[in-house]
Amino acid sequence: MARAVARILSLGKLDVRIWARRAEAIEEVMREVPSLVAAKSAAEAADGASVIFFAVPASALPFVAAAYGDAARGDHVVIHAVRGVGPGFQLPHQMIRERTCVRKIGVLGGPLLAPDLESGRPLAVVLASPFDFGQPAS
């Protein structure tokens, strides 16, 4: 999912940085989407960003959110494409809130499958959140 989202974002001529726990994962995505900038840490990936995407398995989200936590800012918007739940049936937004100061969280939903995104197949995608992303967080 991270590769598919990164590819779509890079089409918009945006500065898209990617970080992963494993260097091999970054290398794989960079081969397919060479316009991305590889970050050495979650903090480096978040530096100067206003929107952060999490596209990881639910089991990895606690670690990834904690790694990003020190670099998180209250004005960041976090959008996740995480399926499933974490330990103790924690939902993705709960795991993010528990490990960061971010409060503006949205979820990317569908039916949404990475192969469909990667192939450019037309699909309907929903970004759901209780927040107005145009207003500062309180």
Confidence of residue 73 (pLDDT cuts 50, 70, 90): very high
Asked if pLDDT for residue 134 goes beyond 80, the answer is: no
Q: Please give the mean pLDDT across all residues of the chain.
A: 85
Question: Running DSSP on this structure, what letter comes out for residue 100?
Answer: S
| Cβ-contact 33, 3 below 8 angstroms | yes
- Secondary element (H or E) of residue 68: helix 61-69
| Cβ-contact 103, 74 below 8 angstroms | yes
pTM summary value:
0.82
Please tell me the predicted confidence (pLDDT) of residue 97.
Answer: 94
| Cβ-contact 6, 31 below 8 angstroms | no
CA 87 vs. chain centroid, Å, equals 20
- For residue 26, CA distances in Å to 94, 95, 125 come to 26, 23, 25
Please tell me the predicted confidence (pLDDT) of residue 39.
Answer: 93
2-128 adopts what CATH topology?
Rossmann fold (3.40.50)
Distance CA 104, CA 82 (A): 16
Domain ranges of the chain: 2-128
